[in-house]
Amino acid sequence: MSKASKYQISAIKYRPLDFENVIGQKHITDTLKKAISQKKVAKSFLFCGPKGVGKTTCARILARKLNNVIELDSAYELDAASNNSVDDIKDIIKKLNYLPFCGKYNIYIIDEVHMLSHSAFNAFLKVLEEPPSHVIFILATTEKNKVLPTVLSRCQIYDFKHINIKNLMKALIKICTLENVEYEKDALLLIAENSEGSLRDALSSFDRLKLFSNNKISRKIVAKQLGILDIQYCLQITELIIEKNIIDKNILKTLLYFEKLIKKGINRNCFINHIAAHFRNLLVLKNNGTIQFFNYSEKFKNRLYAQSKKVSYNFLIKALIICEKTDNFIRKSYNKRLTIEITLVKLIELNFSMRQEEY
């Protein structure tokens, strides 16, 4: 077998095979383990939550535990995103009376169940309410609000959470060690923050960066490759916005700096969101003792803290409102650059007007 054919993405290579290794969902894994040990297992489960947080992984582990097998294919799986017709559900219904070939149960995992057609849902309702004694359904969805209430009422519901930065960092550090990848801690922090609570997204970024960087992942490489507005850029653009200068000069310097960031390839869709997150951090740092909750290096912690003392509560709150309005609009904007530039000018004008009020 060639080396290329052996390659596995990290999300598959390091997929947990046991509840103990599932990251960030202890409230769910503990409950499922108790249900199994106490023999109080529901007939229909609904695992809901964000993408890439362990729903399908937990469904597969649950299937193996219930049938007391180690095989990875211990359940029948249907991806409702591409198999969502009433015929797909009828095909499952036809097989329900077959006794298990291995283990105690025939277990059906239906991923992205909210994608089933209305007629497919209706065909599914009866068997979901009263499945044969040897059948268990595990449904998974990223959009619980799109699942029919009649389906929700027939399932035991488990809400999965976004995985926090601390747990994402632990996972990334562990995999870096196993893969012999050199890394800067701040680089892994950037990956974790950019993944928005999804371990799968974090590992996907890790795989890409590992290949690009020849197993040496730095903060600079992460910021450039993922188009992230790094903290040093957030600090610098905020300094330009709040600089005590003539307003026209502030605007010119800020827009020129933004031009520089565009040339670096920053993600325009996320730019204002990153600035808003930075303002939020400055707001938090207004309260003494909060610096310990930030995962940045000491250098960046000190710069953040110093900058937080230069801006007022009022400016930060009003600036966040401006950023929120822009962030809601920018994804639909045909000219994202102009939208961002207008927002930067608004922030400079806000700072200037608040300084005028002080005198």
Burial (0-12, 13-18, 19+ Cβ within 10 Å), 261: middle
Place of tokens 């939550």: 49
Q: Give the architecture-level CATH label for domain 25-159.
A: 3-Layer(aba) Sandwich (3.40)
> Is it the case that residue 243 has pLDDT exceeding 70?
yes
> Is it the case that residue 244 has pLDDT exceeding 90?
no
Query: How high is the mean pLDDT of the chain?
Result: 89
Q: DSSP labels for 150-197?
A: HHHTTSEEEE--PPPHHHHHHHHHHHHHHTT-EE-HHHHHHHHHHTTT
Q: pLDDT tens digit string along 145-167?
A: 999 999 999 999 999 999 999 99
Q: pLDDT tens digit string along 211-230?
A: 999 899 998 899 888 888 88
Q: pLDDT tens digit string along 304-339?
A: 989 999 999 999 999 999 999 998 888 788 899 999
Higher per-residue confidence, 290 vs 233: 233
Its CATH class, for the domain covering 231-358, is mainly alpha
Q: Are both 25-159 and 165-226 of the same fold?
A: no
Q: At what angle do helices 199-213 and 185-194 cross, to 10 degrees?
A: 130
Give residue limits of the domains in the chain. Answer: 25-159, 165-226, 231-358
Q: What b/e sequence results for 201-238 when a residue is b if at least 16 CB atoms lie within 10 Å of its CB, and e otherwise?
A: bbbbbbbebbeebeeebbbebbbeebebbbbebbbbbb
Task: Give the pLDDT score at 1.
Answer: 44
Residues 6+ apart with CB under 8 A from 52: 11, 195, 198, 199, 200, 201
CATH of domain 165-226: 1.10.8.60
> Is it the case that residue 113 has pLDDT exceeding 50?
yes
